[in-house]
């Protein structure tokens, strides 16, 4: 787990540097981005008692991954990545709150963010449990989305030359197929995903 956390922290730092080279000093309002994502998560899960709703757990888990992107950004503070990863691992494995439903776990995380403007990893762990998402699945989906974002930037996303439809599918659908087919998620998973995306893209 700790090595996977190091990988994710490094990927997040690199992505944030694409937005601003000195992003840590900018003190961006990551907490605000997270509670907005929490609202979107609840919307996908369904909260309207006055109409029939079916939870879209695929979208719910995607929102969890988005929350994790912003949460990692809040946890990166310029210290050694391995030290931060160890602290996160301890928090993820700590005994958190009693089992909660998806909405309750999401609201608990959002409430903490608004009150403290800090990312509570234990509460996030409760959200993972509520959405029945394992750490390995979080790692797989996080790395996949992060790598796709890098791939787009490397292939002309900014200047408009990037091709988003691949053989009749959007690139994120192709990514989902790659992730679903992945049996073993190793520490070099990011590189493997990038290479597979590149192979498909070159054949277009």
As a whole-number percent, the residues of the chain with pLDDT over 90 amount to 71
Q: Give the residue-averaged pLDDT of 93-121.
A: 88
For the record, the structure tokens of 23 come out as 């992003």
Query: Are 124 and 71 a contacting pair, CB within 8 Å?
Result: yes
The confidence band for 185, taking pLDDT boundaries of 50, 70 and 90, is confident
Please check the confidence at residue 97 and state whether its pLDDT lies above 80.
Answer: no
Q: Give the residue-averaged pLDDT of 30-37.
A: 96
| CA–CA dist 110, 94 (Å, integer) | 19
Domain boundaries, the chain: 2-133, 137-202
| CA–CA dist 34, 67 (Å, integer) | 5
| CA–CA dist 79, 76 (Å, integer) | 7
Please check the confidence at residue 197 and state whether its pLDDT lies above 90.
Answer: yes
Dihedral-angle region of residue 28 (phi above 0 means left; psi in -120 to 50 means alpha; beta otherwise) = beta
The CATH class of the 2-133 domain is mainly alpha
Phi, psi dihedral angles at 95 (to 5 degrees):
-75, 115
Please check the confidence at residue 95 and state whether its pLDDT lies above 90.
Answer: no
Q: What is the pLDDT of residue 96?
A: 56
Please check the confidence at residue 129 and state whether its pLDDT lies above 60.
Answer: yes
Q: Give the residue-averaged pLDDT of 125-151.
A: 92
Q: Give the residue-averaged pLDDT of 75-79.
A: 92
Please check the confidence at residue 184 and state whether its pLDDT lies above 80.
Answer: no
């Amino acid at each position: 787990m700790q090595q996977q956390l190091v990988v994710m922290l490094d990927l997040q730092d690199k992505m944030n540097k694409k937005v601003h080279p000195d992003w840590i000093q900018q003190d961006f309002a990551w907490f605000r981005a997270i509670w907005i994502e929490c609202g979107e998560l609840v919307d996908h899960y369904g909260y309207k008692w006055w109409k029939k709703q079916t939870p879209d757990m695929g979208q719910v888990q995607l929102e969890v991954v988005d929350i994790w992107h912003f949460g990692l950004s809040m946890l990166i503070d310029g210290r050694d990545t391995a030290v931060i990863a160890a602290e996160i691992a301890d928090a993820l494995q700590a005994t958190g709150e009693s089992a909660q439903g998806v909405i309750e776990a999401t609201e608990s995380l959002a409430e903490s963010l608004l009150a403290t403007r800090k990312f509570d990893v234990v509460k996030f762990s409760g959200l993972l449990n509520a959405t029945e998402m394992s750490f390995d699945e979080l790692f797989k989906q996080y790395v996949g989305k992060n790598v796709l974002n890098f791939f787009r930037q490397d292939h002309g996303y900014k200047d408009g030359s990037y091709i988003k439809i691949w053989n009749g599918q959007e690139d994120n659908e192709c990514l989902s197929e790659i992730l679903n087919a992945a049996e073993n998620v190793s520490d070099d998973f990011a590189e493997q995903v990038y290479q597979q995306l590149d192979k498909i893209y070159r054949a277009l």
